[in-house]
Amino acid sequence: MRFKKRGQGVKGSRGQVNILLKNTPPNPRILESLNPDKGFTLLEIMIALAIIGTILLTVIYTVNYHAQLSYEHTLATRIFLFAKEKMAELEMNPKNEKGISPDKDFSYENTVRDTHNNNIIELKTMVKGYGKEVTLSEFVNRKK
């Protein structure tokens, strides 16, 4: 077995690796990335703002969509309840009439029609407002 001169080390031995690390100058990029005072780069901030902006845009659109949907449902419910109220009045006093709701949001038209059977009449209420229209119709026995 051949021995090398003292201080040369053997390839792969710890001594040789330590000598190589001590003699290698440090990479400035690695040292900069390890600096805790450096902060974020402009690109990193712009990417973060783009992600946050996209998320906020999605959330705002979703909230606006559901608020509009809720408003539409509220209007439809108000129109339907007013039509039911007018239908109940029409059942008590069957006569043709037109009018406007007390809060002036809706207009209505009540109609009474005869049918082929003399004992049955058709009651119809049509309510319009906010670009919507609800029509309720029912058949009842004629009051004597």
Tell whether 3 is covered by a domain. Answer: no
Does 41 reside within a domain? yes
Q: Which domain holds residue 128?
A: 14-144
Q: What angle do CA 106, 112, 117 make, to 5 degrees?
A: 150
* 135 neighbors 125 (Cβ within 8 angstroms): yes
Examine residue 64 and state whether it is found in any structural domain, yes or no: yes
pLDDT digits 0-9 by tens, 78-120: 999 999 999 999 999 999 999 999 999 999 999 999 999 989 9
Which of 131, 130, 120, 124 lies closest to 98 in space, CA to CA? 124
**Cα 32 to Cα 20, 59, 121, distances in angstroms:** 22, 38, 90
pTM over 0.75: no
Render pLDDT for 40-51 as a digit per residue (tens, 0 to 9): 899 999 999 999
Q: Tell whether 5 is covered by a domain.
A: no
Residue 45 lies in a domain: yes
Q: What is the pLDDT of residue 69?
A: 97
Task: Say if 9 falls within a structural domain.
Answer: no
Band (pLDDT 50/70/90 cuts) for residue 35 is: low
The pair of structure tokens assigned to 72 is: 């539409």
Tell me if 21 is assigned to some domain: yes
